[in-house]
């Protein structure tokens, strides 16, 4: 009987120690774990591949790295289609989305947003000599956009799905403009500058289509991460890190 009691006691001790031991790695992971960022790396200067085509760089990549460093975490970046990013963060496939993502009331219904870190301006790219001179001229025209972006949402709402062509990234939309498959492209001002600089015969209209705030998206089930990311970003704003990153990629006119 004593042997059976001793054996049961030993088993209980092992189970208790195993349970306690299981908590230690979880705490370590929380402090020194991996922050998985989702993005669409075809949106310069916010996210794009370096010249070797191997590493994702840009404003969002650097801000995310700075946030991860503040949290004592390593950063892993996953490149995916823009239209799938919010689903990915909702499902837990990624922890956070940095993708030149505009804060909208509709998106707030499905994800939480960090504090804003940049301002985006939606502009219109046309070919030299185009009859389109302002937003007022877009009615009845074929508009190229990146699927799932606010440019897509605004143009579809205002001009109808039949007048909007969605592409998986901005580069494909611009290529469609060059090939006369669309009459213009509506996209953020900064990638617009990069696309126009790389493609002769295109220009950005001086008129602004919309002004927006950019922020990171996090699952509504992960309020703790949102709080930590916001605290880190507040510090990065206060010490000038975010301003320095923005200035590095966006030169003053």
- Which pLDDT does position 207 carry in this prediction? 82
Residues 236 and 112 both lie in one domain? yes
Residues 108 and 138 both lie in one domain? no
Residues 6+ apart with CB under 8 A from 190: 44, 45, 46, 100, 120, 249, 250
- Contact (CB, 8 A) for 225 and 113: no
Q: What percent of the chain is modeled with pLDDT above 70?
A: 87
Residues 146 and 162 both lie in one domain? yes
- CATH code, 240: 3.40.190.10
Residues 232 and 174 both lie in one domain? no
Question: Residue 12 falls within a domain, yes or no?
Answer: no
| pLDDT tens-digit readout, 229-248 | 999 999 999 999 999 999 99
Residues 199 and 239 both lie in one domain? no
Domain count, the chain: 2
Question: Residue 84 falls within a domain, yes or no?
Answer: yes
Residues 173 and 234 both lie in one domain? no
Q: Is residue 98 over pLDDT 50? A: yes
Residues 133 and 90 both lie in one domain? no
Distance in angstroms (rounded) separating the CA atoms of residues 198 and 182:
18
Residues 31 and 111 both lie in one domain? yes
- Identify the domain containing residue 128 by its residue range: 120-212
Using only C-alpha atoms, the chain has a radius of gyration, in whole angstroms, of 23
Structure tokens at 144: 């190229």
Residues 139 and 189 both lie in one domain? yes
H-helix or E-strand containing 126?
A: strand 118-127
Residues 112 and 219 both lie in one domain? yes
Question: Residue 21 falls within a domain, yes or no?
Answer: no
| pLDDT tens-digit readout, 115-156 | 999 998 899 999 999 999 999 999 999 999 999 898 999 999
Using the Cα atoms of residue 174, residue 149, residue 118 and residue 61 in order, give the sign of their dihedral: negative
Q: Could you identify the residue written with the tokens 């990153």?
A: 245
Residues 184 and 238 both lie in one domain? no
Question: Residue 149 falls within a domain, yes or no?
Answer: yes
Report yes or no on whether pTM surpasses 0.75. Answer: no
Question: Residue 19 falls within a domain, yes or no?
Answer: no
Cβ neighbour number for residue 224 with a 10 Å cutoff? 10
Residues 6+ apart with CB under 8 A from 242: 63, 66, 117, 233, 236
């Amino acid at each position: 009987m004593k042997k059976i009691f001793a054996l049961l006691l030993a088993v209980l001790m092992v189970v208790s120690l195993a349970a306690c031991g299981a908590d230690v790695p979880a705490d370590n992971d929380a402090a020194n774990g991996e922050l998985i960022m989702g993005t669409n790396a075809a949106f310069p200067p916010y996210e794009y591949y370096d010249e070797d085509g191997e590493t994702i760089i840009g404003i969002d990549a650097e801000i995310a790295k700075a946030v991860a460093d503040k949290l004592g975490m390593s950063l892993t970046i996953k490149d995916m289609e823009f239209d799938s990013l919010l689903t990915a963060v909702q499902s837990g496939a990624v922890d956070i989305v940095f993708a030149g993502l505009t804060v909208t009331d509709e998106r707030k219904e499905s994800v939480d947003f960090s504090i804003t870190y940049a301002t985006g301006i939606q502009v219109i790219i046309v070919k030299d000599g185009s009859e389109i001179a302002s937003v007022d001229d877009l009615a009845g025209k074929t508009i190229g956009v990146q699927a799932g972006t606010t440019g897509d949402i605004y143009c579809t709402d205002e001009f109808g799905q039949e007048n909007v062509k969605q592409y998986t990234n901005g580069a494909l939309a611009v290529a469609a403009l060059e090939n006369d498959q669309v009459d213009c492209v509506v996209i953020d001002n900064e990638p617009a500058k990069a696309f126009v600089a790389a493609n002769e015969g295109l220009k950005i209209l001086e008129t602004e289509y919309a002004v927006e705030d950019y922020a990171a998206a996090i699952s509504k089930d992960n309020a703790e991460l949102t709080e930590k990311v916001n605290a880190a970003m507040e510090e990065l704003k206060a010490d000038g890190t975010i301003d320095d990153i923005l200035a590095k990629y966006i030169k003053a006119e």
